[in-house]
Each structure stands twice: as C-alpha cells, then as structure tokens.
C-alpha cells in the first residue's frame, strides 16, 4: 500500500497537492532570506533628520492652524456683518415698498375725492 | 507626554501612534525605532542593494511623517500602513530602474565558512544567489510574502493583515509560491544538466 501511494505521487508530481513536502525548499529559503541590520550610523542619522523635520513640520502646522483660526474668525465676522447689512437693507426695502404703497393708496383716494367734489359742484 | 524610556514593548502601537499624530516627537521616534529595521529589510530584499534600501527607507519614514496627522485607524496594524508606503515606493523604484540591479545582495548571503571546503562554500553561495534570483523573478506580491514570512518571521495571519488578505488566501498564495519556485529550480537544474 505504501509503495502504491508513493508511485501515485511520482506519477502526478505537478498536481497541486497539499501534502507536498516543502521542508527542503523552506530550509533553503530560511538560509537565504536572513534579516539584515541597517548601518547604525545610518539609523541614527535618519532619526536625527526625521526629528528635525518632524519638529519643523509641527511648527509649520501650528502656524497654519493659527492662520486658519484668524482666517475663520475674520470670515465669521465678515459673515455676521454682511448678514446684518443684508437684514438692514431688506428691512429698508420693505419699508420703502410699504410707504410707496401707502402713498399710492393715499394719492388714488385723493383723486377720487377730488373727482367726487368736482362732480358735486357741477351738479350744484 | 511619555518619555522615550517609558515606551516598552508593552505600549501598543495605537497609543504611540495617537501621540505621534498629536505632534509628540518622541512618540514618532519610538515608531521609527520599532519599524526602521523591518522596513529596511523589506526594501533591501526588494531592491537588492544597500544604497537604494537606505534611500527608500528614509523616504518611507519621511512620507509617513508628513501624513501621520491624517492617519486613520481602519483596524489594520500601523505596520501595514508603513509596508504599503514601502511597497508603493519600491514599485516606483522598479519602474524607474528597469535595468537589473547587480550589486550588494551577495553581501547578505549567509554561508558557513568555518570548517568547510572553499569549493563547497562557493557552490553553496552560487546556489543561494540562484535562489535569490529566482525569488526576485517572482511577482511582487509573492516576493512580499516570502520576505514577510522568512525575513520578518510574521505569521500567516499577520501577513494577511499587512497584505489586506485573509489568512487562507495567504496560505494558498504561499503554497503556490513554493510550487512555482520548485518548478523554476527544476527547470534551472534541467538547463544546467543539458549544458
């Protein structure tokens, strides 16, 4: 039976079989793919460069944040101002429209009264 | 703010990452200390030479530094994010340097010189170089898998997290990678036999 299974495996070597033994290949890979240590001076140097760049970046970010805060405050104030101006202007416009309507009504009433008076005089 | 000495292995990446994203220089330094070796190794085996590995490793960390304040935790480990940056930079590097790199990798080959016959040492070195060449001929994701597994000693689950795949998919990819490597070795042996 053991011989038969060995023979079957030999006859179908390319079949994707989960039982294939890769231990020799894995040992070779383990031998070849060994971790390497980066140069210590390189690691230290890069660390220093990163630290410098990091603090500069944070400084720039803080400045950006301050500028953004100032911008948002300015835009907020401008927004409130423009809103109040628009409100004021619209109220003025409404008052103007209402007063013109009132004037027109008043004028038309006056003309009607004048016409009525004239008609009365004519009849008298 | 924690002192650099206060960071131990027990302090999780997430906590340090949070501090680094808030502008803590020491926290970023700790992340660098934890990952510089792994990223360097990954890039070293993907590029095949020390100089490009050093250059690209520096670029990975500078890029990470620029974007760390925008880092979003999506449940993946921080290392996956770094490996993704490294992977993209290596891909760009390969695109820009289509010619084969020939220097450096032999420096890393581990050969037992002691008590061995020089001829045998040379033969083993040649075999290892041939195997490395075969690895470098593999598709990038398979190279990534072998590097993460053998150089970094990550488990299949960790590799899955880093590569954004399931553990099962990694096992399957690993199996196919070994099959294709063995096939390449057979073909190479056959060709050498004919010569």
pLDDT tens digit sequence for A74-113: 999 999 999 999 999 999 999 999 999 999 999 999 999 9
Tell me the C-alpha distance between B69 and B19, whole Å: 10
CB atoms A50 and B179 under 8 Å? no
Q: Which of B41, B53, B65 sits opposite A35 (nearest CB)?
A: B41
- Chain A residues whose CB is inside 8 A of the B62 CB are 50, 53
Tell me the C-alpha distance between B5 and B32, whole Å: 14
CB atoms B29 and A47 under 8 Å? yes
pLDDT of residue A12: 44
pLDDT of residue B11: 79
The verdict on B108 touching A (C-beta cutoff 8 Å) is: yes
pLDDT of residue B1: 42
Residues of chain A in Cβ contact (below 8 Å) with chain B: 14, 16, 18, 20, 22, 25-26, 28-39, 42-43, 46-47, 49-51, 53-55, 57-58, 61
pLDDT of residue B4: 46
**Are the C-beta atoms of B142 and B172 separated by less than 8 Å?**
no
pTM of the model: 0.69
The verdict on B151 touching A (C-beta cutoff 8 Å) is: yes
pLDDT of A116 > 50? The answer is: yes
Average pLDDT, chain A: 84
- Chain B residues whose CB is inside 8 A of the A20 CB are 178-179
Q: What distance, in Å, lies between the first and last C-alpha atoms of chain B? A: 66
Nearest CA in chain B to A58: B23
Interface probe with B: pick from A16, A54, A68, most Cβ of B within 10 Å: A54
Nearest CA in chain B to A59: B23
Average pLDDT over residues B65-83: 86
Q: Which of A43, A53, A55 sits opposite B62 (nearest CB)?
A: A53
Tell me the C-alpha distance between B68 and A89, whole Å: 48
Helix A23-32 and helix B167-194: axis angle, to 10°? Answer: 90
The tokens describing A27, both together, are 């040992």
How far, in Å, are B67, B120, B127, B154 from residue B115 at the CA level? 51, 11, 19, 33
B83 Cβ contact partners less than 8 Å away, ≥ 6 residues apart: B39, B42, B144, B148, B162
Higher per-residue pLDDT: B7 or B50: B50
Tell me the C-alpha distance between B128 and A33, whole Å: 9
The tokens describing B140, both together, are 């990038």
Rg over CA atoms, chain B: 19
Give the B window 13-32 contacts with A, CB below 8 Å: 23, 25, 28-29, 32
Give the B window 115-144 contacts with A, CB below 8 Å: 127-128, 131-132, 135
B95 half-sphere exposure, CB direction, 13 A CA radius: 6
Nearest CA in chain A to B21: A58
Tell me the C-alpha distance between A62 and B180, whole Å: 53
**pLDDT-above-70 percentage for chain A:** 84
């Amino acid at each position: 039976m053991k011989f038969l299974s060995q023979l079957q495996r030999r006859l179908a070597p390319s079949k994707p079989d989960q039982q294939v033994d890769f231990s020799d290949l894995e040992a070779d890979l383990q031998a070849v793919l060994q971790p390497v240590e980066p140069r210590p001076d390189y690691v230290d140097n890069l660390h220093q460069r990163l630290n410098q760049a990091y603090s500069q970046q944070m400084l720039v970010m803080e400045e950006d944040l301050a500028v953004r805060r100032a911008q948002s405050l300015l835009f907020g104030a401008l927004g409130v101002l423009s809103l109040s101006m628009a409100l004021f202007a619209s109220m003025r416009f409404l008052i103007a429209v209402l007063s013109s309507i009132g004037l027109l009504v008043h004028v038309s009433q006056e003309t009607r009264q004048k016409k009525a008076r004239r008609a009365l005089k004519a009849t008298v | 703010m924690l002192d650099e000495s206060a960071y131990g292995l027990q302090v999780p990446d997430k906590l340090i990452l949070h501090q680094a994203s808030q502008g803590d220089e020491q926290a970023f330094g700790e992340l660098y200390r934890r990952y510089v070796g792994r990223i360097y190794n990954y890039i070293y085996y993907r590029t095949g030479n020390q100089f490009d590995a050093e250059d690209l490793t520096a670029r990975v960390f500078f890029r990470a530094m620029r974007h760390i304040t925008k880092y979003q935790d999506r449940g993946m480990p921080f290392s996956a994010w770094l490996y993704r940056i490294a992977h993209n930079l290596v891909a760009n590097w390969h695109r820009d340097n289509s010619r084969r790199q020939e220097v450096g990798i032999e420096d890393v080959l581990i050969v037992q010189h002691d008590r061995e016959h020089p001829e045998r040492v040379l033969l083993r070195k040649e075999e290892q170089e041939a195997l490395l060449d075969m690895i470098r001929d593999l598709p990038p994701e398979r190279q990534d898998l072998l590097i993460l597994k053998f150089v970094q000693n990550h488990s299949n689950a960790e590799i899955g997290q880093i590569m954004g795949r399931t553990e099962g998919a990694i096992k399957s990819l690993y199996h196919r990678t070994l099959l294709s490597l063995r096939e390449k070795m057979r073909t190479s042996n056959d060709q050498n036999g004919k010569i």
